């Protein structure tokens, strides 16, 4: 069974391959009468866009989102919002050489065994390029939440560990996050991270990272009570992103060592 | 709740407004390794296309379907198939005059009451133009079924009543159906229908119609046993088309007068 | 794929076979804080209950519904409401003789071909006994709607045709409907229907019927706009009931002969 | 929106409160013709059952599962399998004293804020007793998988950390897991764990734990490719269990420090 939809009341379906004509998504269930323009989405797209520094994918994409439906005279109408992002830098030839090879750490082999066919150009559907569509859908979700919940609602994220290097979370500074190419919230760690990642790149290797998300102003009781409870939907969503292998909520795995008297925060 | 998706294993989501940039749909759950090209879809689109005769909508649309994803080197890959149809003849100005009016027999008023906003250009999302997307998704479904079930699988449809005029079903001729602008299967009725519809048009009026669908070679046991059984899904799907107000399966409402001994066919 | 769930926000899943221990359903998505007791459900169950007259199934069932969850101190809690109806008159022996036969007009053969196994006792899952669970879920839905929409909301149903006999709908009398064993709204037709049905029974035959449902006080804009629009969900639901082969909404199939000027009501 | 269903093709819906009449679940989508009896389920229920040692909940429940539908003559029929577990030890009076209090670390307050009503007896629907229904559904899933995949399919689980104490995973012994009340796979750690947990209990406190699950013989390509991929569904499912706050798959969060050359296993 193929399943490319996420959400229940507010739902989106993503489509597209890394080196196809375009990628996109359809958001269904967006409330009507919300002010929405492509500009609201573009600022989040800009943060994700490849080719911005030597530390990210070198692919050159403008990642311009075009809204094709569901918005009339600057407002959502309650009907499905279709968004499209054309692929500009889809150099398929680059992949001809690996046409008959399976890349380690990617899902090439799994796709081939599952479907008996695979689009080998940049990983096809398995490419992390799919996440661009989530960013677009997420930008709409944020716009809706700001309208519905109000100014109290805030959500932010940062990279708090890069490979073997952590950062000092006591130095967390929201404004710093978008000033460095690593989305690191601790200004003092940036230099070290840069030096480290340069050496990793030079050696032809790579490394992982840990991201921390902080949301505030969330209404009590959001989500379903058991299956599809907020923790569950967040964990399921994050774990569906390529390369994500762990999710902690609150104390996460460290909750195991908490005692009954422990102050939770 | 907005809901623009149909199907379970093979599923499609449609989007788009009558006078927006484009309309389209995303087919999810299509089996991999099926030969599929835009040509397979275009022949069904041609049958539905407006502007072909004076008896249909005068809107001029080429209704060219472009496949954006899910097909690689002429074969489906098992990933979502996104299709787009650009609107060429979207003369929004034509609708400025009815901007503040609700058209009878349309869903203008309902949309406005439900959402507090409506796209008045040609009915927006409520336009029957949405059905173009179903034709595209249906063409893929037919291609898949032909491959999976084989040559025994056949499906055909015709208009068997036009306004107050029926036709002689004993004269049903498959080849006749696509030869006249009414999809009438009975050659002898065509002339009369034409005369009748011309007079209806001249008087500034309109009329309804009845369609008959015939499928054969269907495997026994298709569909779920109760909810989402084949009859139920067919009835639900047909009744979601604008202006459809009745669905009969087999003897339909006439089953009421059948006796226990009645020969069912 | 098996699918025994109906609904989206308010959803129910039915289970059980005609001659198993019990049948039942789970209602999920019922709003909290609605006064609900088994008594609210039992009055609707009584109307459906078999064995009440010689004209219905002679099976003796009290069809007592027991609520097992989701209600606390007389009020719904927002959690799933599980209901169970024990089968009392499940005389499986009656069916031993048809163990190796497929009954015409039933789904025995289809189930066997689909699953390779069938519960031949009274049709097992294909038995119309399943509809008892819908009545229970529907009774809860009505209770909720009365609370949410208020007194303006009304829904009623009657049998308007029995085999070859219609009735005079001008004589429709709500109070008459539950006074005769046919749920006929026209007192003057009852005698004739009784005579007719007795003769049908005597000849060892059976006949069909047509039901008319009337709902009023429904809020504008209920349901999704296209797929899962109210017409579509109603048609799909009705057509999932055993033996239902046709659904007309409003003018139904007769809408075909309406002209553009026609007064719709 | 309430949502008490998990799964897509094989799906189950759970219902029931800690101190109601019963709890249960409905499994829909189970393949037909699989040998299944209550005995297949009871062995897994026994492992979960409370009251077995002083280290678990002292509630006395036999947790006997009764299958009410979907199984005929010892085999699944493809129709929904309804299971019920009656609550024997539902001493509601025990909770009268906390009727007006919200317990820390439980969802009492959230339920009250979300629904405006709560079943305070033992946590009502929020009680971990709900997981008994998952065990029952899971036992059926395992039975099906053993039949479909064969003997190669194996799944096992153990507690690898208890509060502040880990165990030596090099000593993992499958047979040991069910021999001690902690499901610890390392015989040498059991004594220490016992001593530790006794002291925790004596001080009126509690602690958390970490569980490790190991599955083998899983077919390549199981699950959907992106949303609802296996990692995502597992994470979502585990995180929907009360008190679970973290999920690692494979190296989990430690994947962050892996270099590109790292041997993954």
What are the beta bridge partners of residue B207?
A: C259
> In this predicted model, what pLDDT tens digit does every residue of B199-244 receive, in sequence order?
999 999 999 999 999 999 999 999 999 999 999 999 999 999 999 9
Structure tokens at D89: 């030890």
Q: Average the pLDDT over A173-188 and give the result.
A: 97
Please tell me the least confidently modeled range out of B87-96, B104-113, B245-254. Answer: B87-96
Query: Cα(A188)–Cα(B158) distance, rounded to whole angstroms?
Result: 74
Q: Average the pLDDT over C57-74 and give the result.
A: 93
Q: Average the pLDDT over D200-215 and give the result.
A: 95
Chains that contact B by 3+ CB pairs under 8 Å? A, C, D
Q: Average the pLDDT over C36-60 and give the result.
A: 90
How many residues in chain D? Answer: 265
**Cβ–Cβ contact D77 with C under 8 A:** yes
- Enumerate the residues of chain D whose CB falls inside 8 A of the CB of residue C24: 68, 82
pLDDT reported for residue B26: 98
- Enumerate the residues of chain B whose CB falls inside 8 A of the CB of residue D13: none
> In this predicted model, what pLDDT tens digit does every residue of A129-176 receive, in sequence order?
999 999 999 999 999 999 999 889 999 999 999 999 999 999 999 999
Q: Quick check: pTM over 0.90?
A: yes
Chains that contact A by 3+ CB pairs under 8 Å? B, C, D
The CA-CA-CA angle for residues B139, B140, B145, to 5°, reads 100
Place C265 in a pLDDT band, splitting at 50, 70 and 90.
very low
Assembly ipTM: 0.94
> In this predicted model, what pLDDT tens digit does every residue of C139-193 receive, in sequence order?
999 999 999 999 899 999 999 999 999 999 999 999 999 999 999 999 999 999 9
Whole-Å CA distances, C143 to C76, C84, C132, C154: 11, 18, 17, 11
Evaluate if residue C242 carries a pLDDT over 70: yes
pLDDT reported for residue D182: 97
B4/A75 CB distance under 8 A: no
Place B59 in a pLDDT band, splitting at 50, 70 and 90.
confident
pLDDT reported for residue B201: 92
Evaluate if residue A264 carries a pLDDT over 50: no
SS3 track for A224-248? CCECEEHHHHHHHHHHCCCCCCEEE
**Cβ–Cβ contact D29 with B under 8 A:** no
Taking all residues of chain A, what is their mean pLDDT, rounded to a whole number? Answer: 93
pLDDT reported for residue B256: 94
Question: Smallest CA–CA separation between D14 and chain C, in Å?
Answer: 8
% pLDDT > 70, chain A: 98
DSSP E strands in C18-162: the ranges are 22-28, 65-67, 71-72, 75-76, 81-86, 154-162
C247/B247 CB distance under 8 A: yes
Higher pLDDT, C127 or C1: C127
Evaluate if residue B129 carries a pLDDT over 90: yes
Q: Average the pLDDT over C15-19 and give the result.
A: 96
Closest chain B CA to residue A82: B15
> In this predicted model, what pLDDT tens digit does every residue of A232-257 receive, in sequence order?
999 999 999 999 999 999 999 999 99
> In this predicted model, what pLDDT tens digit does every residue of C80-112 receive, in sequence order?
999 999 999 877 667 777 788 888 888 999 999
Q: Average the pLDDT over D69-92 and give the result.
A: 93
pLDDT reported for residue A1: 75
pLDDT reported for residue D92: 64
Phi, psi (deg, nearest 5) at residue C167 = -140, 175
Query: Cα(D194)–Cα(C8) distance, rounded to whole angstroms?
Result: 48
pLDDT reported for residue A260: 82
- Enumerate the residues of chain B whose CB falls inside 8 A of the CB of residue D7: none
Closest chain D CA to residue B225: D79
Closest chain C CA to residue B129: C226
Evaluate if residue C232 carries a pLDDT over 80: yes
Question: Smallest CA–CA separation between B96 and chain A, in Å?
Answer: 13
Q: Average the pLDDT over D88-111 and give the result.
A: 82
- Enumerate the residues of chain B whose CB falls inside 8 A of the CB of residue A1: 9, 29
pLDDT reported for residue C180: 96
**Cβ–Cβ contact D79 with B under 8 A:** yes
**Nearest Cα to B26, choosing from A250, A263, A84, D179?**
A84
Closest chain A CA to residue C226: A79
pLDDT reported for residue B182: 97
Query: Cα(D28)–Cα(D76) distance, rounded to whole angstroms?
Result: 11
Taking all residues of chain B, what is their mean pLDDT, rounded to a whole number? Answer: 93
Taking all residues of chain D, what is their mean pLDDT, rounded to a whole number? Answer: 93
**DSSP character for D131?**
H
> In this predicted model, what pLDDT tens digit does every residue of A23-59 receive, in sequence order?
999 999 999 999 999 999 999 999 998 888 888 888 8
**Cβ–Cβ contact D72 with C under 8 A:** yes
Chain A interface, best mutation among B3, B5, B78, by max A CB count within 10 A: B78
Question: Smallest CA–CA separation between B261 and chain A, in Å?
Answer: 43
pLDDT reported for residue A93: 66
pLDDT reported for residue A263: 55
Question: Smallest CA–CA separation between B68 and chain A, in Å?
Answer: 6
Evaluate if residue D27 carries a pLDDT over 60: yes
Please tell me the least confidently modeled range out of A80-94, B121-135, D125-139. Answer: A80-94
**Cβ–Cβ contact B97 with C under 8 A:** no
B29/A115 CB distance under 8 A: no
- Enumerate the residues of chain C whose CB falls inside 8 A of the CB of residue A78: 225
Evaluate if residue C54 carries a pLDDT over 90: no
% pLDDT > 90, chain D: 80
- Rg of chain C in Å (alpha carbons): 20
Taking all residues of chain C, what is their mean pLDDT, rounded to a whole number? Answer: 93
Whole-Å CA distances, A215 to A32, A234, A250, D78: 24, 12, 11, 44
Q: Average the pLDDT over D160-177 and give the result.
A: 97
3-class SS of residue A80: coil
A3/D260 CB distance under 8 A: no
> In this predicted model, what pLDDT tens digit does every residue of C178-211 receive, in sequence order?
999 999 999 999 999 999 999 999 999 999 999 9
Q: Are A238 and A215 in contact (CB under 8 A)?
A: no
Query: Cα(D114)–Cα(D105) distance, rounded to whole angstroms?
Result: 17
Higher pLDDT, B140 or D94: B140
**Cβ–Cβ contact D123 with C under 8 A:** no
**Cβ–Cβ contact A86 with B under 8 A:** no
Closest chain C CA to residue D17: C69
- Enumerate the residues of chain C whose CB falls inside 8 A of the CB of residue A225: 78-79
Closest chain D CA to residue B78: D225
Whole-Å CA distances, C222 to A10, C134, C240, D33, D87: 18, 21, 21, 42, 40
pLDDT reported for residue C92: 65
- Enumerate the residues of chain A whose CB falls inside 8 A of the CB of residue D227: 3-6, 14, 237, 240
> In this predicted model, what pLDDT tens digit does every residue of D82-95 receive, in sequence order?
999 999 987 766 77
Place A75 in a pLDDT band, splitting at 50, 70 and 90.
very high
**Cβ–Cβ contact C238 with B under 8 A:** yes
- Enumerate the residues of chain B whose CB falls inside 8 A of the CB of residue C14: 226-227
């Amino acid at each position: 069974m193929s399943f490319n939809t996420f959400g229940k009341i507010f739902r989106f379906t993503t489509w597209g391959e890394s080196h196809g004509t375009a990628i996109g998504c359809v958001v269904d269930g967006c409330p009507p009468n919300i002010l929405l323009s492509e500009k609201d989405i573009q600022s989040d797209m800009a943060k994700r866009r490849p080719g911005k520094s030597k530390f990210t994918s070198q692919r050159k994409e403008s990642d311009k989102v075009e809204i094709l439906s569901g918005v009339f005279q600057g407002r959502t109408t309650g009907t499905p919002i279709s968004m499209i992002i054309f692929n500009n830098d889809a150099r398929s030839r680059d992949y001809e050489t690996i046409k008959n090879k399976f890349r380690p750490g990617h899902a090439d082999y799994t796709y081939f065994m599952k479907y008996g066919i695979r689009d080998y150009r940049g990983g096809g559907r398995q490419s992390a390029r799919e996440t661009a569509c989530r960013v677009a859908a997420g930008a709409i979700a944020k716009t809706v939440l700001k309208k519905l919940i109000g100014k109290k609602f805030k959500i932010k994220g940062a990279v708090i560990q890069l490979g073997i290097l952590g950062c000092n979370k006591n130095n967390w500074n929201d404004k710093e996050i978008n000033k460095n190419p690593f989305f690191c919230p601790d200004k003092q760690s940036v230099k070290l991270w840069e030096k480290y990642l340069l050496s990793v790149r030079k050696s032809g290797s790579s490394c992982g990272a840990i991201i921390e998300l902080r949301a505030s102003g969330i209404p009590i009781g959001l989500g379903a009570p058991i299956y599809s409870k907020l923790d569950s939907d967040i964990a399921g969503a994050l774990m569906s992103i390529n390369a994500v292998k762990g999710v902690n909520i609150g104390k996460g795995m460290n909750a195991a060592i908490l005692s009954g008297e422990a102050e939770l925060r």
